[in-house]
Chains A and B, each alone.
Chain A
Amino acid sequence: MKTIDIARYSLGSLNGARSRTALMLLAMSIGVASVLVLTSLGEAARRYVSGEFASLGTNLVIVLPGRTETAGGEPSMLIGDTPRALTLGDAQALLRSSLIRHVAPLNIGSAPVSYGGLERDIPIWGSTAELLEIRHWKMGLGRFLPKTEWDRASPVCVLGQKVRKELFGNQPVLGEWVRIGDRRFRVIGILESAGESLGVAVEDMVIVPVASIQRLFNTSSLFRILVEARSREAIPRVIEHITHTIRERHQGEEDITVITQDAVLATFDNILQALTLTVAGIAAISLGVAGILIMNVMLVAVAQRTTEIGLLKALGAPEQQIVNLFLAEAALLSLLGAGLGLVIGQVGNGLIGYFYPDLPMGTPLWAFAAAIGVALGTGLLFSLLPARRAARLDPVQALARR
Chain B
Amino acid sequence: MITLENIQRIFLVGDQKVHALRDINLHINAGEYLSIMGPSGSGKSTLLNLLGLLDRPDAGRYRLDGQDVTTLSDKQQARLRRERIGFVFQFFHLVPRLTAAQNIELPMMLAGLPVDERQLRVRQALEDMGITDRADHRPDQLSGGQRQRVAIARATVMQPGLLLADEPTGNLDRASGKDVVDILETLQRHGITLIVVTHDPELGERAQRHLHMVDGAIITDTAKP
Smallest CB-CB separation from A305: which chain B residue? B95
- Known contacts A13-B97, A315-B107, A316-B78; A396/B55 CB under 8 A: yes
Question: A195 vs B82: C-alpha distance in the bound complex, in angstroms?
Answer: 74
B98 to chain A, nearest CB (A): 7
Check B206 for interface membership: any CB of A closer than 8 A: no
Q: A379-400 interface mask toward B, CB cutoff 8 Å, 1 = contact, 0 = none?
A: 0000000000000000110011
- Known contacts A1-B109, A1-B110; A315/B81 CB under 8 A: yes
* Cβ 8 A contact of A319, one of B54, B74, B80, B111: B74
* Cβ 8 A contact of A316, one of B81, B97, B98: B81
Is the CB–CB distance between A9 and B79 below 8 Å?
Answer: no
A389 to chain B, nearest CB (A): 15
Is the CB–CB distance between B109 and A16 below 8 Å?
Answer: no
Is the CB–CB distance between A316 and B83 below 8 Å?
Answer: yes
B12 to chain A, nearest CB (A): 14
Check A5 for interface membership: any CB of B closer than 8 A: yes
Question: A357 vs B12: C-alpha distance in the bound complex, in angstroms?
Answer: 71
Is the CB–CB distance between A2 and B112 below 8 Å?
Answer: yes
Is the CB–CB distance between A313 and B93 below 8 Å?
Answer: no
- Known contacts A307-B93, A319-B74, A402-B91; A314/B52 CB under 8 A: yes
B215 to chain A, nearest CB (A): 19
Check A318 for interface membership: any CB of B closer than 8 A: yes
Q: A1-37 interface mask toward B, CB cutoff 8 Å, 1 = contact, 0 = none?
A: 1100100010011011000000000000000000000
Interface size on B, residues (CB 8 A): 30
Interface residues of B in 3-52 (CB under 8 A from A): 45, 49, 52
Is the CB–CB distance between A395 and B54 below 8 Å?
Answer: yes
A243 to chain B, nearest CB (A): 76
Check A308 for interface membership: any CB of B closer than 8 A: yes
* Cβ 8 A contact of A396, one of B49, B83, B95: B49
Q: B59-85 interface mask toward A, CB cutoff 8 Å, 1 = contact, 0 = none?
A: 000000000000000110011111100
* Cβ 8 A contact of A5, one of B79, B81, B97, B109: B109
Check B203 for interface membership: any CB of A closer than 8 A: no
Smallest CB-CB separation from A316: which chain B residue? B82
> Which residues of chain A are within 8 angstroms of B81 by Cβ–Cβ distance?
313-316
Question: A335 vs B106: C-alpha distance in the bound complex, in angstroms?
Answer: 25
* Cβ 8 A contact of B111, one of A16, A311, A316: A316
Check A220 for interface membership: any CB of B closer than 8 A: no
Interface residues of A in 299-349 (CB under 8 A from B): 307-308, 310-321
B147 to chain A, nearest CB (A): 12
Counting contact residues on chain A (CB < 8 A from B), the size range is 20 to 34
> Which residues of chain A are within 8 angstroms of B106 by Cβ–Cβ distance?
312, 315
Which of A16, A312, A316, A396 has the most B CB atoms < 10 Å from its CB?
A: A316
Is the CB–CB distance between A315 and B110 below 8 Å?
Answer: yes
> Which residues of chain A are within 8 angstroms of B75 by Cβ–Cβ distance?
318-320
Question: A312 vs B111: C-alpha distance in the bound complex, in angstroms?
Answer: 11
Is the CB–CB distance between B97 and A311 below 8 Å?
Answer: no
A306 to chain B, nearest CB (A): 11
> Which residues of chain B are within 8 angstroms of A399 by Cβ–Cβ distance?
54, 89, 93
- Known contacts A313-B78, A314-B87, A316-B83; A9/B109 CB under 8 A: yes
* Cβ 8 A contact of B95, one of A5, A311, A313: A311
Check B154 for interface membership: any CB of A closer than 8 A: yes
> Which residues of chain B are within 8 angstroms of A313 by Cβ–Cβ distance?
54, 78, 81
Question: A310 vs B81: C-alpha distance in the bound complex, in angstroms?
Answer: 13
Smallest CB-CB separation from B98: which chain A residue? A12
Is the CB–CB distance between B54 and A396 below 8 Å?
Answer: yes
Q: A34-53 interface mask toward B, CB cutoff 8 Å, 1 = contact, 0 = none?
A: 00000000000000000000
With A307-B93, A310-B93 given, name 6 new contacts (CB 8 A): A12-B97, A312-B106, A315-B106, A315-B154, A316-B110, A318-B78
> Which residues of A line the B interface, CB within 8 A?
1-2, 5, 9, 12-13, 15-16, 307-308, 310-321, 395-396, 399-400, 402
Can you list 30 A-B pairs with a CB-CB distance of less than 8 A? A1-B109, A2-B112, A5-B109, A15-B97, A16-B97, A308-B95, A310-B93, A312-B106, A313-B54, A314-B54, A314-B81, A314-B93, A315-B81, A315-B82, A315-B106, A315-B107, A315-B110, A315-B154, A316-B79, A316-B158, A318-B74, A318-B79, A319-B74, A319-B75, A319-B78, A321-B78, A396-B45, A396-B55, A399-B54, A400-B45
> Which residues of B line the A interface, CB within 8 A?
45, 49, 52, 54-55, 74-75, 78-83, 87, 89-91, 93, 95-98, 106-107, 109-112, 154, 158
